[in-house]
Amino acid sequence: MNLPQERHVLVVFPHPDDEAFGVSGTISMYIKQGIPVTYACLTLGEMGRNLGNPPFATRESLPHIRKQELIASAEAMGLTDLRMMGLRDKTVEFEDDEEMVEMMTKLIEETNPSLIITFYPEYAVHPDHEATARAVVRAVRRMDETLRPKLYGLAFANNTAAELGEADVIHDIQSVREQKMGAMRAHISQTAWMLAEMDKRLAAGEPEAENWFTFERFYTYRWHEDFEKLF
């Protein structure tokens, strides 16, 4: 199965590893199809809590490790346009809101995407996810309606199914299982415990674990239910 043709896909997330679980299969598929993909990662996950006990890293050495992991994840997906945007983990929501929109507008102008993938505002749990989603939505909202790229959001808040229902975009990613596994393993410092759990479940043939490597789900942004009137 192929994904529908795109001109350019822009992916925007705040943390190294945000891409791994939810969209690395999708990114890998676009790349396999020859569709250019840009991944803008806003921070280096400087405030990650998984530092081990005994510790394998410190608060100060973690960003260096996570930067290398991010690069390795990009390599696993075959992604060549990786942009590190230089913000600090957990501070994204405190940045100037207008500057955040401008950052997204610049990315959009430069890459001219036909599709943008980010988090879905109000259903993305982490404050950095929410701030990223808001900035992207605002930048796209400012565009002429006829020129707007498609906007897919990743939603995983506990109230997602109750309020948004089922995802309307479902990608069958079985053909890029190895790439997705590679992206997830690249972020080993933060995903080790999750991967250990996953390996166990995969070995036990649990359908839920197999699901990671079968489908990725997105919600098309509902402009008619915009999270705010204007900005």
Q: Does 50 bind another protein (CB under 8 A)?
A: yes
Binding-residue pattern over the window 155 to 184 for another protein, x denoting contact by CB under 8 A: --xx--------------------------
Note the residue count of the chain: 231
DSSP class of residue 52 equals: B
Angle at 101 between CA 121 and CA 164, to 5 degrees: 15
Q: Which of 1, 34, 52, 225 touches another protein by CB under 8 A?
A: 52
In the complex with another protein, which residue's Cβ is closer, 51 or 195? 51
Please pick, from the candidates 34, 96, 165, 193, the single residue that binds another protein as defined by CB under 8 A.
193
DSSP, collapsed to helix, strand or coil, labels residue 202 as: helix
106 interacts with another protein by CB under 8 A: no
125 interacts with another protein by CB under 8 A: yes
Binding of residue 90 to another protein (CB under 8 A) = yes
Copy the structure tokens of residue 52.
Answer: 């081990």
Q: Are 14 and 146 in contact (CB under 8 A)?
A: no
Sheet holding 150-154, edge to edge: 81-84, 37-41, 9-13, 115-119, 150-154, 215-220, 169-172
Question: Taking CB under 8 A as the rule, which mask of x and - marks residues 126-145 in contact with another protein?
Answer: xxx-----------------
Which residues here bind another protein, judged by CB under 8 A? 47, 49-55, 58-61, 63, 88, 90, 125-128, 157-158, 193
